[in-house]
Amino acid sequence: MEFETSRLDKYIRRRYGKRIPQSMIEIAIKNGDILVNGGRTRASDKVSETDNVFVYHSVCRMFEAVMHSSKPKAPVDYSRFITELKDMIIYEDDDLIIVNKPPGLPVQLGSKMRISVDVMAKAYNPEARLVHRIDKETSGVVVLAKNLFTARYMLYLFQNKEIYKKYMAVVAGKLSAAEGVISKPLTRAGSTSIVDFEYGKEAVTKFRVLETIAQGRTLIEAIPLTGRTHQIRVHFSAISCPIVGDRRFNGPKFKYLCLHANEISFTLSNCRKISVIAPVPPYFQTVPGDE
């Protein structure tokens, strides 16, 4: 960072763009989405090159969206999405909001999107923070923290693999066993992942067959023991059993990607155990089979 000591809001504009509205910066600071040296701050506080200025990814994307806009757009009234967010909530307490995300709704804001789970959650609760992500096409459990302490602790749990996650999927092809483990190292290739036995990082997925949905279509449960990008999708494609509706990884055509984050379990710092199940979407049972 090449700058003299200056106000935080001026630094944000210098880093992300001169057209970032002051109100957007101040709201992000007030919500704790911009931190200096790990703590809350104010727009008028001074920062220098020795300070660690952290901006949450969702706020970075909003800043980028403003700067890439050809002309200023009228602000969206996100309050109208509060009802929709409430309908998605399957668990809530003083520390957490857990939603059952529908397919097609992104978790975080992108340059071509004006609505996402994190934006809806901010309208519902300004302190809400995403603590993990699932693909836009994937449905199911998404966890948000209501305060900074819980957000940090949840990130700790994810990083240390102390969170149990289970997915449901409908796959095509013939599985070689009723249950098993797929262990194929993955590496990033642009915005996706590929199997790479030479340079890839360890990636392990347990699976179990549940039932036959249609001819050549099987409902399975998958438990990722590691957390690589697109891990479950790549693994099943790699064993010639791609997920139905997965256009990116050669799955049979279907209106939806049949991958659902079904269950999550973990223990909070106060020893309180949380276990939440998101019901499987009804379209799983309408997948057509091979002719």
Asked if the 78-159 domain carries CATH number 3.30.2350.10, the reply is yes
Unique residue bearing structure tokens 């998101």: 278
DSSP 117: H
For 69-117, write each residue's pLDDT tens digit: 655 555 556 667 888 899 999 999 999 999 999 999 999 876 566 788 9
What class does CATH assign to 164-286? alpha beta
Pick the CATH number of 6-68 from 3.10.290.10, 3.30.420.40, 1.10.1040.10, 3.50.50.60: 3.10.290.10
Q: Which residues are catalytic?
A: 135
Rounded average pLDDT over 263-289: 95
If phi over 0 gives left and psi between -120 and 50 gives alpha, with beta otherwise, what is residue 123?
A: alpha
Beta-strand runs (E) in 77-234: 89-92, 96-101, 129-130, 139-145, 164-172, 179-183, 186-189, 192-195, 204-214, 217-224
For 120-161, write each residue's pLDDT tens digit: 998 899 889 999 889 999 999 999 999 999 999 999 999 899
* Identical fold, 6-68 and 78-159: no
Instruction: pLDDT band for 20, please (50, 70, 90 cuts).
Output: confident
Q: Show me where the domains of the chain are located.
A: 6-68, 78-159, 164-286
